[in-house]
Amino acid sequence: MDILGSVALLLAFLAAVYAFVAGIVGIVTRRPLITKSARNAGMAVFGLVIIAAACLEYFFFANDFSSAYVAEHSNRALPAYYKFAALWSGQEGSLVLWTFLLSMYAFLVLFFNRKKHPELMPYVGVVLAGTQTFFLTLNNFVASPFRMLGNMDAGGVMRLASISDGHGLNPLLQYPEMVIHPPMLYLGYTGFTVPFAFALAALLGRYPGEKWIHITRRWTMIAWCFQSVGILLGAHWAYAVLGWGGYWAWDPVENASLLPWITGTAFLHSVMMQEKRGMMKIWNVWLVFVTFMLCIMGTLLTRSGVVSSVHAFAQSSIGGWFVGFLIIIFVVCCAAYWKNRDYLRSDNQLDSLVSRESSFLFNNLVLLAACFAVLWGTLFPVLSEWVQGSKISVGPPFFNKVNIPIALFLLLLTGVGPLLAWRKTSFDALRRNFAWPLVGGVVAGVVAFIFGFRDVYSLICMILGVFVTLTIASEFFRGARVISSRDGSNIFTAVGELTMRNTRRYGGYVVHFGMVLIFIGIAGTPFNKDIQKEMSIGDTLNIGSYSILCQNFDAVNNDNYESERATLEVFKGGKSVMMLYPERRFFLASQVTETMVAVQSNPFHDLYVVYAGRSPEGGKPVIHAYLLPLVKWIWFGGIVVVLGTILALLPNRKAVLVLRPATETSWGGAISATGSAIGAVARRADAND
Amino acid sequence: MKARSKFLIGSGIIVVTLLALAYVGFTQSKTYYHTITELSTLQGSALHQRMRVSGNVQAGSIDHLTGRVDFILIEQGKTLPVSYVGHDPLPDTFKDGAQALVEGKMMPDNRFVAEQVQAKCASKYEATPDGAPVSAPARNPGQTSTGTNARPSGY
């Protein structure tokens, strides 16, 4: 099997190189047969990578510990789903996952567009093949997953060796999210390759118009959705496993996943400027380039330990390859831009400060500022070492100081932007659209203040959250009212009908609402409480309205781990409400200690209890209890974001009453934003993507 | 005034505000990373900055006292006496020979007062050279596999 896998990987590499070279030859010589063969080679890569990945999975499921990778990352007793997930538990396998997902995207893109866009697709194929070539180079020649364990026998000949059981999967990774979080995040990282390939292709091929944006809009949304899910799952994993009562620490590896998400978000908004008004063409192309480069850089930061080397002691030699690839991408992008910059001239100018255009511009400005701040803070240890010779790291206060105001400003724009008209909005329209939501927001702010929301940022976040929710609700309501008055359906049916007629617009609103929920969840952070106490049996600890009685401490030992466990009874208002069992497990095989947090969650707060070990002085057990308000809203908001994105990906239902020919390019946003839903009804389905 | 110049002024205000916030956040949270060897060469204000120092815990040097834990970090033959004064229990990985990262300040008597200690069992990392949990891309290897009592703020 190792030979089959290695050969498949090698053939995949050759196919990718062929697709790259033949693709260029096909473009230069304009011979369709060569172009076609390059495309077929590009699609074949996927099949070959499937074989390679399947071989590696076979080793895991067959418990074949002659494979070095399997021996390092699995053992016989490992449950099947962790064996499956162990594929991406190490460097070599993660890179295989990258290549696998990238090839899957490439296959789908090449397959679905095989009869379309004959001027554009050859360039797309070349860019995709180039990226695949890089990762397959790593898979084949730098970090091969098919290294076998070997012994030198008496005659000096290498023989295959096998060990009886593997070293096992790092217990910290043995958590359900291990199965799903890395693939989600990688689907995000790799997915941004598609818009990148189309943008670079359109620029290189001087492909006319905004078509590449129409073609890639859905691909970008898919990648963005996966990236969002990946980030949130990672946050949830950290929350559930690490035991410090938080979900985000501005850690370099977290930041690495956030950066392309930020620029991807900026791109999803600014493309609308190009579609509707022919503006910001240079900006959009560079946003896509930067997003892709940040994806590669994210992988670099995760793999190489360049930045986190202050507290991660592991190093790997793979960083240089990524730096080289980044430089190549940057040079290619610059060259393509410089050569074809005249093709990106803007059709329109900004007309008014109170317009949809300017809200998008501000949105992009602050998103990029956030991206820059996070990047700067993440890379600062490296930069300061180069410049000053001393390594300086910056902590959460830096990131929070900059990003909280940015996030709140974005939240404001989320409410204001979609209701502003293109070009120019009158004061009257402003008052009509915003008066009630604003009143609602202020009332909510007063109520929140009375209930003890005394942190200024959280208070602003509450006010804006309610404001945005009300603007979204009023958009749905106004559109639905028009439909229901016309066909007599009730308002709820009309909301459904309205949404399905313009999924992109209303799906977008649902995503915005999901973000509001996430923001409200985050706004609970300043009210976190925690208390730490040395406890003996019979002791009580009070936090918020709960009191926690320590009933017992015991040890749970088995072959896998030795565990210290606390049995705690939680009382509220004198009544016993639940039992919690926080644990601390010491895994024998890997000599790693893992905290098993006990969490009791409801919409108002999470009670989060950690058995923190024994105190430095007396050796008594220490219980650390946290009361974390509103955390659940974050995870719930994440689900809403996903549902909204799926909604926005659905094709539009044709309106029964079409007021304009379906082929005409519409400016529906402008019309509906002035208070009528006719524009929304008439908005053309994005039929060509 | 044209919309374009209004937009530029607005952007300017935003950017300047953010730069000011960034500067404040930076000065509040910057932490210098030094090796034990470098510490003896530091002078003046550099000595009083907040810093991180890493080294191995000298065998037998851990001394549990009331309210603090004393130990000695050793790196390339140079030693650094450390007093841990934080409230959190020390990580389980903190023991003789472990690699530790301490964060805090130097005192005039050349004792390092640490508010945070992270530790990693050294032998584990010799066994697996790339043993960081690389499969968890959104997590920091240092955090997931380190017994840590660092407690970063939320958000």
Q: What is the C-alpha to C-alpha distance for residues A648 and B24, in angstroms, rounded to an integer? A: 40
Mutation test of the interface with chain B: which of A87, A94, A170, A410, choosing the one with the most B Cβ atoms within 10 A? A170
Q: A364 with A472, same domain?
A: no
Counting the structural domains of chain A, the total is 4
Q: What is the C-alpha to C-alpha distance for residues A195 and A417, in angstroms, rounded to an integer? A: 25
Mutation test of the interface with chain B: which of A313, A386, A412, A608, choosing the one with the most B Cβ atoms within 10 A? A313
Q: What is the C-alpha to C-alpha distance for residues A303 and A193, in angstroms, rounded to an integer? A: 19
Per the CB < 8 A criterion, the answer to whether A8 and A145 are in contact is no
**Which residues of B fall within a CB distance of 8 Å from A88?**
135
Q: A316 — contact with chain B (CB < 8 Å)?
A: yes
Determine how β-strand B78-84 pairs with β-strand B112-120.
parallel
> B155 and A612 in contact by Cβ < 8 A?
no
* Phi/psi of residue B70, nearest 5 degrees: -100, 145
**Which residues of A fall within a CB distance of 8 Å from B85?**
none
**Contacts for A667 with CB less than 8 Å, ≥ 6 apart:** A276, A422, A679
- Does residue A329 carry a pLDDT above 80? yes
Q: Which residue has the tokens 């990148």?
A: A196
Q: CA-nearest residue of chain A to B50?
A: A392
At residue A343 the predicted structure's pLDDT band, cuts being 50, 70 and 90, is confident
**Which residues of A fall within a CB distance of 8 Å from B3?**
349-353, 355, 358
pTM recorded for the entire structure: 0.86
Q: B59 — contact with chain A (CB < 8 Å)?
A: no
DSSP A633-653: HHHHHHHHHHHHHHHHHSPPP
Listed residues A149, A166, A194: the one ending a domain: A149
For residue A687, tell me if it sits in a domain: no
Give the number of other CB atoms < 10 A from CB of residue A296.
Answer: 22
For residue A154, tell me if it sits in a domain: no
Q: A437 with A501, same domain?
A: yes
DSSP A191-210: HTHHHHHHHHHHHHTT--TT
Domain extent at residue A544: 527-629
CA distance B109 to chain A (A): 23
For residue A531, tell me if it sits in a domain: yes
Q: Which pLDDT score, from 0 to 100, does residue B106 have? A: 86
Per the CB < 8 A criterion, the answer to whether B133 and A89 are in contact is yes
Q: Identify which of B30, B93, B135 has the shortest CB distance to residue A89.
A: B135
- Does residue A679 carry a pLDDT above 60? no
Q: What is the C-alpha to C-alpha distance for residues A59 and A51, in angstroms, rounded to an integer? A: 13
Q: A381 with A439, same domain?
A: no
- Does residue A47 carry a pLDDT above 90? yes
The DSSP code for A363 is H
A33-47: average pLDDT: 94
Q: Which pLDDT score, from 0 to 100, does residue A688 have? A: 35
> B133 and A247 in contact by Cβ < 8 A?
no
For residue A144, tell me if it sits in a domain: yes
Q: A519 with A531, same domain?
A: no
Residues 86-145 (A) with a CB less than 8 A from some CB of B? 88-91, 93-94
Q: CA-nearest residue of chain B to A299?
A: B137
For residue A161, tell me if it sits in a domain: no
For residue A653, tell me if it sits in a domain: yes
Mutation test of the interface with chain B: which of A88, A179, A382, A592, choosing the one with the most B Cβ atoms within 10 A? A592
Q: Identify which of B92, B123, B154 has the shortest CB distance to residue A586.
A: B92
Q: What is the C-alpha to C-alpha distance for residues A468 and A414, in angstroms, rounded to an integer? A: 7
* Residues belonging to chain B: 155
Q: CA-nearest residue of chain A to B140?
A: A253
Q: Which pLDDT score, from 0 to 100, does residue A305 have? A: 62
Q: A385 with A469, same domain?
A: no
**Which residues of B fall within a CB distance of 8 Å from A308?**
140-142
Q: A71 with A121, same domain?
A: yes
- Taking only the tens place, the pLDDT of each residue in A149-161 is 877 777 777 677 7
Q: A482 with A464, same domain?
A: yes
**Which residues of A fall within a CB distance of 8 Å from B104?**
none
Q: What is the C-alpha to C-alpha distance for residues A567 and A580, in angstroms, rounded to an integer? A: 6
**Which residues of A fall within a CB distance of 8 Å from B22?**
373, 376, 398, 401-402
Distance from CA of residue A295 to its chain's centroid? 11
Residues 131-150 (B) with a CB less than 8 A from some CB of A? 131-148, 150
**Contacts for B10 with CB less than 8 Å, ≥ 6 apart:** A353, A362
Q: Which pLDDT score, from 0 to 100, does residue B46 have? A: 72
For residue A56, tell me if it sits in a domain: yes
> B3 and A308 in contact by Cβ < 8 A?
no
> A312 and B92 in contact by Cβ < 8 A?
no
Beta partners for B99? B56, B120
Q: A183 with A201, same domain?
A: yes
User: What average pLDDT does the structure give for chain A?
Assistant: 85
Q: Which residue has the tokens 């999470």?
A: A606
**H or E segment and range at residue A54:** helix A32-61
Q: A590 — contact with chain B (CB < 8 Å)?
A: yes
Q: What is the C-alpha to C-alpha distance for residues A494 and A396, in angstroms, rounded to an integer? A: 46
> A593 and B125 in contact by Cβ < 8 A?
no
> A310 and B33 in contact by Cβ < 8 A?
yes
For the ranges A200-204, A274-278, A325-329, which has the lowest average pLDDT?
A: A274-278
Find which of A241-255, A357-371, A644-658 is predicted with most confidence, using mean pLDDT: A357-371
> B26 and A586 in contact by Cβ < 8 A?
no
Q: A283 — contact with chain B (CB < 8 Å)?
A: no
- Taking only the tens place, the pLDDT of each residue in A13-39 is 999 999 999 999 999 998 989 999 999
Listed residues A401, A423, A445: the one ending a domain: A423
**H or E segment and range at residue A606:** strand A605-614
Q: A10 with A140, same domain?
A: yes
E-assigned strand segments in A378-455: 391-393
Q: A315 with A463, same domain?
A: no
* Residues belonging to chain A: 689
Mutation test of the interface with chain A: which of B139, B145, B149, B151, choosing the one with the most A Cβ atoms within 10 A? B139
Q: What is the C-alpha to C-alpha distance for residues A649 and A226, in angstroms, rounded to an integer? A: 13
Residues 15-34 (B) with a CB less than 8 A from some CB of A? 15, 17-18, 21-22, 24-26, 28-34
- Does residue A193 carry a pLDDT above 50? yes
A477: left (phi over 0), alpha (psi -120 to 50) or beta: alpha
Q: A340 — contact with chain B (CB < 8 Å)?
A: no
Per the CB < 8 A criterion, the answer to whether A430 and A416 are in contact is no
CA distance readout (Å), A268 to A213, A516, A645: 10, 18, 12
For residue A157, tell me if it sits in a domain: no
> B14 and A235 in contact by Cβ < 8 A?
no
> B24 and A532 in contact by Cβ < 8 A?
no
- Taking only the tens place, the pLDDT of each residue in A630-643 is 999 999 999 999 99
Q: A233 with A334, same domain?
A: yes
Q: A456 with A486, same domain?
A: yes
Listed residues A372, A394, A423: the one ending a domain: A423
For the ranges A129-138, A647-656, B41-50, which has the lowest average pLDDT?
A: B41-50
Q: What is the C-alpha to C-alpha distance for residues A136 and A430, in angstroms, rounded to an integer? A: 54
Looking at per-residue pLDDT, the higher value among A587 and A311 belongs to A587
ipTM confidence score: 0.72
Retrieve residue A394's tokens: 């910056």
Q: Which of A223, A191, A200, A34 is nearest to A124 (CA)?
A: A200
